[in-house]
Amino acid sequence: MWDLLNNLAFGVGVAASPQNLLLCLIGALVGTLIGVLPGLGPVATIAMLLPITYGLPPVGALIMLAGIYYGAMYGGSTTAILVNIPGESASVVTTLDGHQMAKQGRAGPALAISAIGSFFAGCVATVIIAAAAAPLTSIALLFGPAEYFSLMVLGLIFAVVLAKGSVVKAIAMILVGLVLSMIGSDLETGAGRLNFNIPELADGLGFVVIAMGVFGFAEVLRNLEVEHNRDIVQAKITGLMPTREDLIAAAPAIGRGTILGSALGILPGGGSVIAAFASYTLEKKLSKYPQKFGRGAIEGVAGPETANNAASQTSFIPLLTLGIPPNPVMALMVGAMTIHGIVPGPQVMTKQPELFWGMIASMWFGNLMLVVINLPMVGLWVRLLRVPYRLLYPLILIVCCIGVYSVNNSPTDVYLTAAFALVGYWLVKHDFEPAPMLLGFVLGPLMEENLRRAMLIARGDAMVFLQRPISAGLLIVSAILLVIAVLPMMRKKRDEVFVEEG
């Protein structure tokens, strides 16, 4: 306990430096901005800004990128409540009751309760990360190559099971990502692989190239096809503060949302979308007046908004302790860490304590800033919604182009990004989810390395993965999850969870 406080105090010291505070503020502002603007998500934005963080010290860079992620969760709720557009996929459920509240003239309390809930969740999740980090890290140190490989298999399977859409197609996307990650040079022998002796491919495909192509550009292509008529009903925001009754009704929902969100965020592949859906379902089940849901129940705003924020923060736990990204945003954080020469994993905490604790402490500052950014300035953010898409996408384009080019000063990277934009567009047209591909691409080299080592140590005996108890346990859980996901009965149930999104 004392250690924990000491470490947190150390982290606060790092995060409170003027430069880091400023970067945290920039991250929170950018996050709110993209959260408000539909059609621009945290994955694309973080990919866009990766090259910009080159010049920053690693701590500051990661503080800023983390701020973008949880900032987007705040911003997404604003548009969901005021204009019935989820700025972020995690805010989809917030539209159900949040917008109803706004229509009844209670937009102020809805916004306030979602900010209060998010802030509470953020504070609790920060402590959870700090508390869980040390024990998990010591477990991670017991892991050998076989365990790591099995853990990554489990992570990828989780991503498949919890993603929406076809399980088989999600598995295919992971494998595509793994194959793409093989391009370049072999880690051990240095032999060129699948690169056709093209010098630009000798180091492999750039992470930024794939992320910007598939998530940034393909997203633009898709958005250009849908008609944009954003009629903003000018909701009058009168009286921000929720009443006593509101607070009493929302408090238990906030508590449950925090717990649920924190738990789901840790699971690989879980993340904020699932957390929000699960919390809404839970609140509706527990409520004495379930008929109020969908007609402006404050619990229906408080629960999901709290849960998605808690989840977005605890999803840092697998990344920071095990070095395994549980969702595409965390995959980008791996990219950011690698750019700065940091290998994500248990050793981060011991070798780079200022990075580890500084980042955790910065989340608390960030959440505080977000409350300030969001509540008084809400009018400004809503006005931003009037920016038409035809002005927005050229901005995305030029930042991506210059960003991709500047990574290696290489025009080839720009061409490859264009190619991956088409790939991403094709994937959407054929109902493939691109996110598992990015996860596979990031985990590919790690998986291969651990698989190779485990096999070498076991003298080529593949049974080693089943003979070591932890590894066997992880693989059995993966297998059970996969079977459950494919079983028709469970599939139906799983689809129902996503139905409300429509």
**Interface residues toward other proteins, by CB under 8 A:** 52, 54-55, 166, 168-169, 171-172, 175-176, 178-179, 182, 186, 188-189, 191, 193-194, 196, 217, 220-221, 224-225, 228, 388-391, 393-395, 397-399, 401-402, 405-406, 409, 411-415, 417-418, 421-422, 425-426, 429-432, 444, 448, 451-452, 455-456, 459-461, 502
Minimum CB distance to other proteins, residue 188 (Å) = 8
Which residue, 244 or 492, has its beta carbon nearer to other proteins? 492
Minimum CB distance to other proteins, residue 40 (Å) = 15
- Provide φ and ψ at 385, rounded to 5°: -65, -20
163 vs 155: CA distance, rounded Å: 12
Which residue, 105 or 394, has its beta carbon nearer to other proteins? 394
Helix axes 18-36, 58-83, angle to 10 degrees: 30
Minimum CB distance to other proteins, residue 173 (Å) = 9
Beta strands in 33-81 (DSSP E): none
B/e letters for 412-445, b = 16+ CB within 10 Å, e = fewer, are ebbebbeebbebbbebbeeebbbbbbbbbbbbbb
Q: From the CB of residue 232, how many other CB atoms can be counted at a distance below 10 Å?
A: 14
Minimum CB distance to other proteins, residue 152 (Å) = 13
319 vs 312: CA distance, rounded Å: 12
Minimum CB distance to other proteins, residue 220 (Å) = 7
Which residue, 289 or 426, has its beta carbon nearer to other proteins? 426
Which residue, 134 or 168, has its beta carbon nearer to other proteins? 168
DSSP 193: E
Residue 25 makes CB contacts below 8 A (sequence gap 6+) with 67, 369
For 190-198, the CB contacts below 8 A with 24+ separation are none
Which residue, 30 or 361, has its beta carbon nearer to other proteins? 30
Minimum CB distance to other proteins, residue 426 (Å) = 8
DSSP 9-22: HHHHHHHTSHHHHH
Which residue, 48 or 349, has its beta carbon nearer to other proteins? 48
Minimum CB distance to other proteins, residue 269 (Å) = 18
Which residue, 10 or 389, has its beta carbon nearer to other proteins? 389
DSSP 358: H
> For residue 219, what are its two tokens?
């997203």
